[in-house]
């Protein structure tokens, strides 16, 4: 299924969860670059969030999510590949995947199999 269609099928709770994981990926190397912010903004447009929810998500960029907000066990099985693919996109958004970002994604892949 096309990624845009999969994104559109996400319910509000799963959208928020996906966005938390995407932001955690951006924070894996302890800095969020302008290109990573751009990736998130493009994702928000695809998700068509209401303006107030979009503003809230952008505020999440101010500090990394807490570990309990990005527990891999909470990713719905039917959305795992979508989450991983979207996180890979964030990881590559700035043109450089740091060792921390790569390790974070590898760990998540192992935990969600």
Per-residue pLDDT tens, the chain, 113 aa: give them.
478 788 988 999 999 999 999 999 999 888 899 999 999 999 999 998 899 999 999 999 999 999 899 998 899 989 999 999 999 999 889 888 888 888 888 887 887 76
Q: What are the percentages of helix, strand and coil residues in the chain, rounded to 5?
A: 75, 0, 25
Global confidence as pTM: 0.88
- Kindly report the length of the chain: 113
Buried b (16+ CB within 10 A) or exposed e, 67-90: eeebeeeebeeebbebbbebbeeb
Q: Which domains are assigned to the chain?
A: 3-112 (1.10.3680)
Looking at residue 113, its pLDDT comes to 67
Looking at residue 32, its pLDDT comes to 93
């Amino acid at each position: 299924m096309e990624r845009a269609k999969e994104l559109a099928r996400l319910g509000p709770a799963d959208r928020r969860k996906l966005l938390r994981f995407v932001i955690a990926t951006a924070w894996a190397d302890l800095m969020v670059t302008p290109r990573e912010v751009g990736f998130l903004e493009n994702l928000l447009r695809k998700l068509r969030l209401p303006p107030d929810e979009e503003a809230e998500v952008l505020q999440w960029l101010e500090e990394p999510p807490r570990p309990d907000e990005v527990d891999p066990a909470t990713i719905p099985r039917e959305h795992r590949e979508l989450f991983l693919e979207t996180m890979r996109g964030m990881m590559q958004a700035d043109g450089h995947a740091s060792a921390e970002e790569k390790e974070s994604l590898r760990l998540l892949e192992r935990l969600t199999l």
